[in-house]
Chain A
C-alpha cells in the first residue's frame, strides 16, 4: 500500500460511518467484561436487528470510557450519552426509547459530569470511541497519518527535533526527556537497533496502559513505528504482562492488521523503511518492567536488572542499541507529529508538558481511568474528578505512584502533578496509580502491604533490596503485633535510606517510599502502635483478638 491508499481507506470508512444515523459504543474492556459487557453488546445487536435498524444504527465494541465502577457502560453518539450499569434487559429499553423515540433514558444515564470536566484526553483520544479491532476506524480518525507524514515529509532528525520541542517525558515513571533518549539511540552506529514498547504494568492498582492497549492499540503501534523511523531501528517488541489477556489479544490482532496494510513490516508504505514488531509476554514479574529487567526477559532469561551504564541506548537487547518506552509515551507521539511539538508544549506545565493517565481507585466515589493535564493538583483529582471519599468517611491519605510511591497526607493535596513536585514530597509519578485511603485504613498496615509486595517482587540480586526490604517488612510486622520499640523507627529510617541509595535498580531504590513517607507524615500512627499498643484504625492486633 502507498500513502494515498491509506487516505482512501479513511475516506471509504468515513463514508460508511456517515450512513449510520447513530452509533452505540459498548465498552468491552477488562473493566466491563467480567460484568457482562459481551451480553450487553449482544442484546444491543439483537434489539437493533429486531427493530430492523441495522442500516441506521451501528453497534460497536469499543475500549474503555473510564467510568469503570459503573460498568457495563455504553456511549451513544451523536450527543455523547453515556449509559451505566447496563443489563441485557435495559439495553433493549435503551434502543426502544433512545434510538427509536429519540428520548434518552434518563434514569440509566451517567449523571456525573464532574468526572469528565477536568480531564483532557490526548492519549485516550480514541478510547471508547472507535472499535480497537478495526484498523479502518483508527485510520478514519486520522490514524497513521503521522507515520505517513514522517515517512514522506520528514527526516529522522526532524522527527526527533519535533519530539524534543514537545518537551515530552517518559511516562513510565522516571520522566526522562523522550527526544533526548531518541537522540542517544539514533547516534549509535551499531546495528540492528531495537525499540521496545513497555506494557509490563505490574503496579497493583494501575491499569492505564492496559486500558490504552485494549482501547487504541494502533496508537501504540503507530508511535512505536515512528520512534523506530527516528532512531533507525528495524525490529520492535511489545512486552505485555501475561495477566492482561485481552490486551495481548487486541494487540496481536492490531499487529496483524497493520502488517496486512503494510504499515508494519518490510518497505513500509512502499518506502525503504523496514520495521517489524513482535509481541512478547511477561510471566508475572514486576521487576521485568524495569529497563534492564525487560531486556533480560525478552532475551529469555531471569528478569534481573543489571547496573547501568551501559545504558540500553548503547547496549540493550543482545548488546545492541535499544530504545525502551512506555506505551503511553508512544501513544503521544502521533499527536506531536501531526500538531507540532510547540502545540504539545503548551499543554501542562512548562517543565512537564502534556497529560498523564491515572488509575484512580480506593476509597473514592468515582473510581476509574482518567487523563489530566500535568500540573493539575491532587485535590482536584481526588475531590472533583473522584468526587471525594464516600459519605461518612474521612480522607486520610493518597498513595501516588504504585507500590513504591508515597503516601501523601491532606496537606500535600495542593501539589501540582509533575515529576519534580511528587519526588520532592516523597512520592513518584510511577506509572500512574492514585489510591485514595480513608480513615478506615491503618497507615502502618498500608506501608506493610506495599513493602510486602516489593519483598515478593524483588529479584534477589542485590543485598539492600533482597535483605534490607525484608528486614523492614519484618520490623513493621513486629510493630503491628504490638511488639515494636521506639528505636525501630530510627532503624526503619536508616534502612529505608540505605535501600533507597544502595539498591541496584529502580524497584529497590523506590521501594522504601511507602515506609519513609508514612514515617514522615503519619508518625503518630506508628507511635500509637508502639507506645499505646493501639491501632487508630482498628486494623492491626486483630489476629490476636480472633484467637
Chain B
C-alpha cells in the first residue's frame, strides 16, 4: 500500500504531512498526537477490531478506525471529542464486563493496557452486568499460560505468531461471544506440535491473558518486539 505521493491533512487542527497510503494512526503518531488503541501494534498488520482508535473525519457521518483508514489530501481528522470519549469509555466498560476481570489477582496488574485505559477514561464502575462465569485456563505448557478469563480477543498474539514468528500456532475458534484463542486443533498448549515456545505472544499481550509463569510481567512484556524484528529482517 505504500504510495509515492505526499499528502497534506489536518489532525485536530494541526497540519500534518503524510505519505500516500499511510494510515491516520501512523500520521498522527508522527505528529505527536496519541490515539488510544488496543488491538493495534506497531510491526503487525492492522486488525480494526477494538474500535478504540475511531476518529471523526469531516464530511462523513461515519466514524473511522485510525489504524486502517488511509490518509487523503485535505482530510480533516478529529481524534478527540465528547462523542468519541463517550464511545471509547463504553468500549472499555464492555471489555471489562465481558470476562471476569479481577485486577487484584491478575499478573498484569499495574502492567495492563486495559487497566491503563480504564484509568485514563475514568471508568470507576460498570453500568452493564458483569460476566462471572469462569473460562478455561491452559496450564499445560511448561512455562506459557493462556488464561481465557483475561483475554480481550485483540488477536495480537496470533498475528505476532503468524506474521513475525511465522508459525500460526494460534487462531480463534467459534465466533461472536463464544470466540476463544486456540492452539493447533484446540489442543492443550503443552501438546502443541507447532508452537515454538518463542513467547512473543506473551510479550505483546496487552493484558494478562498470555504470560510466562514465574516471571515478572514487566520482564515478559515488550510492545516493540514485532516492529523491532520486522525492521531488522534481511528480506
Contact = CB atoms under 8 A, between A and B. Distances in A.
Interface of A: 285, 287, 302, 304, 306-307, 309-310, 455-468, 470-471, 474-475, 491, 494-495, 498, 501-504
A457 B176 contact: yes
Given A306-B48, A463-B91, A504-B49, A456 B176 contact: yes
A474 B87 CA distance: 20
A442 B235 CA distance: 62
B49 A474 contact: no
A285 B87 CA distance: 28
Nearest to A471: B128
Contact of A463 (B49, B64, B129): B49
Nearest to A508: B51
Given A501-B63, A501-B87, A470 B177 contact: yes
Most buried by B among A462, A491, A495: A462
Contacts of A310: 1, 70
B22 to A, nearest CB: 13
Most buried by B among A459, A463, A465, A466: A463
A304 B158 CA distance: 15
B176 A460 contact: yes
Interface of B: 1, 47-51, 54, 63-65, 68-70, 86-87, 90-91, 94-95, 97-98, 127-129, 153, 172, 174-179
Contacts of A287: 175
Contacts of B153: 460, 466
B68 A471 contact: no
A306 to B, nearest CB: 6
A463 B47 CA distance: 12
Given A307-B48, A498-B90, A466 B97 contact: no
Nearest to B88: A502
B176 A462 contact: no
A98 B128 CA distance: 66
21 contacts: A285-B175, A287-B175, A307-B48, A307-B68, A309-B69, A310-B70, A460-B153, A462-B48, A463-B50, A463-B91, A464-B90, A464-B91, A466-B177, A466-B179, A468-B94, A475-B128, A494-B90, A502-B87, A504-B48, A504-B49, A504-B65
B63 A464 contact: no
Given A455-B176, A466-B98, 9 more contacts: A306-B48, A459-B176, A464-B51, A464-B90, A466-B179, A475-B128, A494-B90, A502-B90, A504-B49
Contacts of B64: 307
Nearest to A304: B175
B172 A464 contact: no
B98 A462 contact: no
Contacts of B47: 461
A502 B179 contact: no
Contacts of B176: 455-460, 465-466
A405 B179 CA distance: 26
B51 A309 contact: no
A504 B51 contact: yes
A502 B83 CA distance: 11
A499 to B, nearest CB: 9
Contact of B49 (A285, A456, A461, A495): A461
Contacts of A307: 48, 64-65, 68-69
Contacts of B49: 461-463, 504
Most buried by B among A302, A467, A474, A503: A467
Contacts of B51: 462-464, 502-504
A474 B129 contact: yes
Nearest to B61: A501
A462 B50 contact: yes
Contacts of B50: 462-463
A475 B176 CA distance: 18
Contacts of A463: 49-51, 91, 94-95
Contacts of A465: 176
Contacts of A471: 94, 97, 128-129
A460 B54 contact: no
A458 B65 contact: no
Given A463-B95, A471-B94, A455 B48 contact: no
A194 to B, nearest CB: 20
Contact of B95 (A461, A467, A494, A498): A467
A475 B129 CA distance: 9
Contacts of B172: 302, 460
Contact of B175 (A306, A458, A470, A474): A458
Contact of A458 (B1, B90, B95, B177): B177
Most buried by A among B51, B64, B129: B51
Nearest to A305: B48
A214 B17 CA distance: 54
B91 A502 contact: yes
Contacts of A455: 176-177
A498 B177 contact: no
Contacts of A459: 175-176
B97 A467 contact: yes
A110 to B, nearest CB: 43
Contacts of B129: 471, 474-475
Contacts of B175: 285, 287, 302, 304, 458-460
A502 B95 contact: no
